[in-house]
Structure 1
């Protein structure tokens, strides 16, 4: 398993080392590839598990991102219009924000069931932890590049 992960990581890093960055899309694709490699290794996914897990996870991650973005937009609208909103507008906005949070929770529950169909519970239970670990790793690396004055941000 570790050999597969190492080979996958080296292959992905080699591709990115050769390719010239072309903007945010490339950065996002690189981020996704690093996330796949990191999570595959940390979850110790077998090739069969990875083949079944990643399409489900990618679908979940896309829906979760869209729902989260909608909630953030609503929160930003409240912040922007804070001095203009009436009590009824605040009430409406608060319900819309809560509805988005509930949708996020529902997605988590729905996809938890889907993950359990393709992975053992031992792996499913740590998906969120591994996601956070990856996110913090990326933040640390970004901050390190900032300190070093690297232009590749």
Structure 2
């Protein structure tokens, strides 16, 4: 009986270690993507060291805010609208959920407006426009790399 308990504890420990490693791998990939994005945007905007020192704290705060909004609110909505729950949802529940989603989208929009407003005193308007293009180009490039590496 004691041997079974020891084996059980060892198996649980190894599985927990495996989950922790998987989490570290995902975090490592996120960190790598973030580093690549920083380099890409810095290059595309031709940020000077002075601009960079002021730009990145503002941009990183925006990214964090955006990620928090998406993580907390949007994921909650998406978890509630699988095929089963959609078919069982009343019109009133659907309307309420839709209003909540619109509110979240508005919150994301307001965060973007605040970013632009904060950046106006830090970098020239042309670089703010280039930022939008650089973000889209980076995301497109990242998606293409994902598609190219995906097994078919």
Aligned to 2:21: none
Q: How many residues align?
A: 127
Shift of 1:72: 4.1
CA distance in 1, matches of 2:93, 2:54: 44
Q: Corresponding residue for 1:71?
A: 74
Corresponding residue of 1:112:
116
Q: Deviations over 1:104-142 (max 9, x none)?
A: 111111111001111111101221211010011111122
- Aligned pair 1:35/2:56, yes or no? no
Looking at CA atoms only, which structure, 1 or 2, has the larger radius of gyration?
2
Give the TM-score normalised by structure 1.
0.77
CA distance in 2, matches of 1:31, 1:49: 22
Pair 1:129 & 2:110 matched: no
What corresponds to 1:19 in structure 2?
none
How far apart are the structure 1 equivalents of 2:111 and 2:67? 11
* Cα distance in 2 for residues equivalent to 1:66 and 1:134: 21
Gaps of 5+ in 2: 1-23
Q: 1:126 to 1:76 in 2, by over 3 A?
A: farther
Cα deviation for residue 76 of structure 1 reads 3.7
User: Over aligned residue pairs, what C-alpha RMSD do you find?
Assistant: 1.6
Q: Structure 2-normalised TM-score?
A: 0.77
Structure 2 equivalent of residue 94 of structure 1: 98
Q: Supply the distance in 2 between the matched residues of 1:53 and 1:117 (Cα, whole angstroms).
A: 10
CA separation in 2, counterparts of 1:79 and 1:66? 22
Relative to its length, the structure with more helix (as a share) is 2
User: Per chain length, whose mean CA-contact separation is higher, i.e. which structure has more relative contact order (CA < 8 Å, sep 6+)?
Assistant: 2
Equivalent residue for 2:52, pick from 41, 50, 53? 50
| Structure 1 runs not aligned, ≥5 long | 1-21
